[in-house]
């Protein structure tokens, strides 16, 4: 049995595909989790992503496969989750980019929380350029570093981790619905990752740390959380992510997807 784990090798894939929240929603709505290797030609012909070129459709598919197909149970859950709130969708897309991109994970899960925690919430582009030069791949030219900086800022902004578009931006914590938090926890439970279930860059990026995190965990319905000092314990109501989804995600009306990639409820 293959052990699922977070990605650890840095890469530049973010340069070609940003957070892509709406494209991710369209992918979940169209993909067959039992046979996800759809050709770009078919996705283009069926307008999975709306009025996109075949070349761009191919690029989107390649990135969607990395972000979601690498986690089969998660893909099956996302493909069947039709009533997802926009706030949850944004958080979950951010989470999957973190899982598959260690540079984005470090930027959003370490750098930005440090800015918030030290009461220096201002984020300047020049500071991020410096961060990229120190953490990015050594072979990157300055042009690539600048492009990657732009992508980091735009992705973090789309994820709700940055406020404003002018200098300086402000590092903030987004709203995280309970279902999105439960999805993250049940997914992490089945993965190998650096950290613990209460101390990791995924939750830190969302401002879920310390006493605030403990309060959120105690309020969840599908997890029982207990903590005394540094000792904590989870009791899981469901054995895995798919069992959680089957019992928790309410069925919705039948959904079809129009040519623009948006859901149409019957």
For the residues of 206-254, what is the DSSP string, one character each?
TT--HHHHHHHHHH-SSEEEEEETTEEEEEESSSSHHHHHHHHS---S-
256 located within any domain: no
Condensed to tens digits (0 to 9), the pLDDT of residues 105-137 reads 999 999 999 999 877 789 999 999 999 999 999
- In this structure, the answer to whether residues 92 and 152 fall within a common structural domain is no
The answer on 231 and 159 residing in a single domain is no
Reported pTM: 0.92
| Same domain for 53 and 134 | no
Residue 257 has what pLDDT? 43
At which of 145, 171, 197 does a domain end?
171
162 and 185, same domain (yes or no): no
Which of 2-6, 112-116, 204-208, 248-252 has the weakest average pLDDT?
248-252
What is the rounded radius of gyration, in angstroms, for the C-alpha atoms of the chain?
19
Q: Given a cut of 90, is residue 3 above it in pLDDT?
A: no
At CB < 8 A and 24+ separation, what contacts does 1-7 make?
A: 3/192, 4/70, 4/71, 4/190, 4/191, 4/192, 5/191, 5/192, 5/193, 6/98, 6/99, 6/100, 6/102, 6/105, 6/191, 6/192, 6/193, 6/194, 7/99, 7/100, 7/101, 7/102
Q: Is residue 258 part of a domain?
A: no
pLDDT-derived band at 2 (thresholds 50, 70, 90) equals: low
Residues 68 and 114 in one domain: no
Do both 188 and 89 map to the same domain? yes
- Of the candidate ranges 28-37, 141-150, 174-183, the one whose mean pLDDT is the lowest: 28-37
Q: How far apart are the C-alpha atoms of 83 and 17, rounded to whole Å?
A: 25
Residue 262 belongs to some domain of the structure: no
Site of tokens 């990752």: 193
pLDDT classification of 250: cutoffs 50, 70, 90:
low
- Indicate whether 226 and 189 sit together in one domain: yes
Whole domain around residue 147: which residue ranges? 101-171
Q: Tell whether 238 and 131 lie within a shared domain.
A: no
pLDDT at 228 over 50: yes
Residues 86 and 183 in one domain: yes
Does 189 sit behind a cis peptide bond, omega within 30 degrees of 0 on the bond before it?
Answer: no
Same domain assignment for residues 124 and 164: yes
> What is the DSSP code (8-state) at residue 3?
P
Say if residue 80's pLDDT is above 60.
Answer: yes
pLDDT at 1: 56
Q: Which of 122, 152, 171 is the last residue in one of the domains? A: 171
Average pLDDT rounded to a whole number, residues 76-80: 97
Number of domains composing the chain: 2
**Cα dist. 66→63, 102, 103, 111, 228 in Å?**
5, 13, 15, 24, 39
Q: Give the residue-averaged pLDDT of 57-76.
A: 95
């Amino acid at each position: 049995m293959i052990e699922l784990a977070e990605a650890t090798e840095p890469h530049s894939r973010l340069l070609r595909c940003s957070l892509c929240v709406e494209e991710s929603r369209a992918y979940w709505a169209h993909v067959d989790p039992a046979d996800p290797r759809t050709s770009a030609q078919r996705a283009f012909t069926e307008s999975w992503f709306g009025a996109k070129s075949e070349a761009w459709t191919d690029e989107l598919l390649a990135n969607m496969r990395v972000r979601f197909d690498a986690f089969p149970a998660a893909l099956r859950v996302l493909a069947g989750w039709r009533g997802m709130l926009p706030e949850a969708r944004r958080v979950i897309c951010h989470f999957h980019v973190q899982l598959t991109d260690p540079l984005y994970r470090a930027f959003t899960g370490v750098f930005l929380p440090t800015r918030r925690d030290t009461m220096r919430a201002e984020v300047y582009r020049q500071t991020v350029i410096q961060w990229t030069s120190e953490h990015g791949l050594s072979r990157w030219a300055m042009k690539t570093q600048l492009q990657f900086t732009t992508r980091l800022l735009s992705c973090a902004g789309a994820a709700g981790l940055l406020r404003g578009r002018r200098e300086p931006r402000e590092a903030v914590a987004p709203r995280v619905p309970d279902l999105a938090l439960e999805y993250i926890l049940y997914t992490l439970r089945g993965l190998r990752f650096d950290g613990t279930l209460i101390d990791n860059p995924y939750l830190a990026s969302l401002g879920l740390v310390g006493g605030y995190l403990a309060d959120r965990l105690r309020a969840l319905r599908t997890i029982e959380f207990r903590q005394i000092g540094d000792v904590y314990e989870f009791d899981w109501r469901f054995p895995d992510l798919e069992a959680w989804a089957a019992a928790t995600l309410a069925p919705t009306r039948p959904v079809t997807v129009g040519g623009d990639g948006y859901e149409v409820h019957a």
